[in-house]
Chains A and B, each alone.
Chain A
Amino acid sequence: MSLQFDTLSLHAGQLPDAEFGARAQPLYLTTSFVFQDTDQAASLFNMERAGHVYSRISNPTNAVLEERIAALEGGVGAIAVASGQAALHLVISTLMGAGGHIVASRALYGGSHNLLEYTLPRFGVQTSFIDPRDLNAWQAAIQPETRLLFGESLGNPGLDVLNIPAVSEIAHAAGIPLLVDATFPTPYLQRPFDLGADLIFHSATKFLGGHGVAIGGLVVDSGKFDWVSSGKFPQLAEPYSGFHNMVFAEESTVAAFLLRARREGLRDFGACMSPFNAFQILQGLETLPLRMARHVENTRAIVAHLAGLRGAEGAVESVIHPDLAEHPDHELAKQLLPKGSSAVFSFHLRGGRPAGRRFIEALRVFSHLANVGDAKSLVIHPASTTHFRMSDEALKAAGIHPGTIRLSIGLEDPKDLIDDLNRGLAAAAKA
Chain B
Amino acid sequence: MQITVKGQMVYVYTGGKPFDRQLPAVMFLHGAQLDHSCWNLQSRWFGHHGFGVLAVDLPGHGRSAGAPLGSIEELAQWVDALLSSVALEQAALVGHSMGSLIAMEAALQFPSRISRLALLGSTLPMPVSAALLDAAWHNEAKAVAMVNNFSHSSSAQIGGNTVPGLWMMGMNQRLMERQKSGVFGCDMNACNAYARPLTDLSAIRQPTLILAGAQDRMTPPKASRALASAIATARLEVLAGAGHALMAEQPDQVLNHLRDFLKQ
Binding site for B on A (CB under 8 A): 1-3, 11-15, 43, 46-52, 57-60, 62-64, 66-68, 70-71, 74-80, 222-224, 226, 228, 244, 246, 250-255, 258, 262
Contact = CB atoms under 8 A, between A and B. Distances in A.
Contacts of A66: 164-166
Given A13-B160, A254-B178, A49 B170 contact: no
Nearest to B1: A250
Nearest to A226: B178
B164 A47 contact: no
B41 interface: yes
A43 B259 CA distance: 13
Contacts of A2: 145, 149, 157
Contacts of A14: 158-160
A138 B163 CA distance: 37
A253 B154 contact: no
Contacts of B13: 250
B171 A76 contact: yes
Interface of B: 13, 16, 35-37, 40-41, 44-45, 48-49, 62-63, 145, 149, 154-155, 157-167, 169-171, 174-175, 177-178, 251-252, 255
Nearest to A12: B159
Most A CB contacts (10 A, CB to CB) among B35, B149, B165 go to B165
Contacts of B167: 12-13, 67, 70-71, 75-78
Contact of B37 (A59, A60, A251): A251
Contacts of B163: 50
Contacts of B165: 58, 62-63, 66-67, 70, 77-80, 258, 262
A15 B166 contact: no
Contacts of A228: 63
Nearest to A253: B37
Given A70-B166, A254-B175, A258-B165, A49 B160 contact: no
A65 B171 CA distance: 16
Contacts of A46: 16, 44, 48
A244 B171 contact: no
B159 A48 contact: no
Contacts, number: 133
Nearest 10 A/B pairs, CB to CB:
A58-B164, A66-B165, A223-B174, A70-B167, A48-B45, A13-B159, A77-B166, A50-B163, A15-B160, A63-B164
A241 to B, nearest CB: 14
Contacts of A75: 167, 170
A77 B171 contact: yes
A50 B251 contact: yes
A62 B161 CA distance: 12
Nearest to B146: A2
Give the most central of A64, A66, A77: most B CB within 10 Å: A77
A57 B165 CA distance: 11
Given A63-B164, A258-B165, 4 more contacts: A1-B154, A67-B159, A71-B167, A251-B37
Contact of A3 (B35, B44, B48, B158): B158
A49 B161 contact: no
Contact of A223 (B149, B162, B171): B171
Contacts of A222: 174
Contacts of B36: 253
Contacts of B169: 71
A333 B132 CA distance: 37
A253 B16 contact: no
17 contacts: A1-B149, A1-B154, A2-B157, A11-B158, A11-B159, A12-B167, A14-B159, A15-B160, A46-B48, A48-B255, A49-B41, A49-B45, A49-B251, A50-B252, A59-B164, A223-B174, A251-B44
A143 B147 CA distance: 41
Contacts of B154: 1
Nearest to A256: B37
Contacts of A68: 159
Contact of A50 (B63, B157, B162): B162
A50 B44 CA distance: 11
A82 B160 CA distance: 22
A1 B160 CA distance: 16
